[in-house]
Amino acid sequence: METVAINLLNGIAYGMVLFLIAAGLSVILGLMGIVNLAHGVIFILGGFIGLATARSTGSFLLAVLAGAAGSGVIGLIIERGFLRFLYKQDLPQVLVTFGFVYIIGNLLLWIWGARPRAAFVPTYFAGSVAIMGFYFPAHRFAVIAVGVAFGLGLWWLQEKTKLGAIIRAGMDNAEMVSGLGINLTPINIGAFFFGSAIAGAGCVIGVQLFGSVTFDAGVDMLLVAIAVVIIGGVGSVQGALLGALLIGVIDTFSRVYLPVIAEYTMYLVMIFVLTFRPSGLLGRKL
């Protein structure tokens, strides 16, 4: 019973990290129709920058901000410097982001080397919390808490603000929104920046779960993020959360109980969803 509970909490914590990385990807895809294949390496980049900041300043908060800023800026560069010129050409855009997977991945290797970067756990997250008779690491609770806070924030933004309404409208029918005189370009750019920034912050926070992060984890993370977006439904924040938690829990449990399929359970789920419900569990109808 205890192990099930621990695994469940671990799965939820992992799911929260996935939520942070997938939310950005989903919004970018929903709003601009771009599958940003570089999203995974942007995630890792944020982690590297954040961890380096933590090492030199000792402040976890600064690390998170630095990671977010770094990732956000790189995302911005890719969008404004390259994707912008390929307006409405879906395939070339996807391919360009793919080129950046190689570029950023190799830059990470060049600058920081191949050794895994160890996680930085701030003192106020050290130690364990007692839950129902067993102990669970406090920093993992922190991850869950951050995820929940972020989810609530996004939900509030999406449902209760004018900006949220514009974004939802933009995902449904961008032409109509522009036709109404609302300039979507700054919103698109903002979405790209924040989506990338959140991912970067998510890595700094989430690295505690993995213990360390290496430069080549970008591709794996990207694929998990895509799986989450597909399963949860493109453009849906709630979908991203649901998909992330689902994947997080399934992945964690399968690693423990069915290791032979653990490596690729989520791809099976993804294929299943794409076959029977291509719009995802909570996505907008295609």
Partner 1 sequence: MIWRVSKEQKKRLLRFAPHMVIGLLLLTLPIYTDLSIISLFNKILIYGLLVMSLDLLVGYTGLLAFGHAAFFGIAAYTTGILIKHYHVLSFWLSAPAGVLMAVLAAFVFGVIALRASAIYFLLITLAMGQLIHGIVRTSARPLGALTGGSDGLGGIPYPDLGFSFSFSPNSFYYFTFLIFIICALLLYWITKSPFGYSLQGIRESEIRARTLGYNTWLYQYISFIIGGLFAGVAGVLYVHYNGFISPEGVGMGASGLLWLMLIMGGSGTLWGGFIGSGIILSLQYFVSGFTPARWPLILGVCFVGIIMFYRGGILPPLTLLWKKMSHDGSLKG
Non-local (6+) Cβ contacts of 178 within 8 A are 184
**DSSP 8-state symbol, 213:** E
> C-beta of 283: minimal distance to partner 1 in Å?
11
Compute how many other C-beta atoms are within 10 angstroms of the C-beta atom of residue 144: 17
The CA distances from residue 261 to 42, 152, 257, in Å, are 28, 33, 10
> C-beta of 99: minimal distance to partner 1 in Å?
4
Cβ proximity to partner 1, 85 vs 135, nearer residue: 85
> C-beta of 40: minimal distance to partner 1 in Å?
10
Cβ proximity to partner 1, 94 vs 157, nearer residue: 94
Beta strand ranges found along the chain (DSSP E)? 117-118, 128-131, 134-137, 212-213
Cβ proximity to partner 1, 37 vs 191, nearer residue: 37
Q: What share of the chain is helix, strand, coil (3-state, %, to 5)?
A: 75, 5, 20
Question: Which residues are at the interface with partner 1 (CB under 8 A)?
Answer: 33, 35, 82, 85-86, 90-92, 94-96, 98-107, 109-110, 219, 222-223, 226-227, 230, 259-264, 267-268, 270-271, 274-275, 278
Q: 3-state class of 182 per DSSP?
A: coil
Cβ proximity to partner 1, 163 vs 271, nearer residue: 271
> C-beta of 227: minimal distance to partner 1 in Å?
7
Cβ proximity to partner 1, 35 vs 66, nearer residue: 35
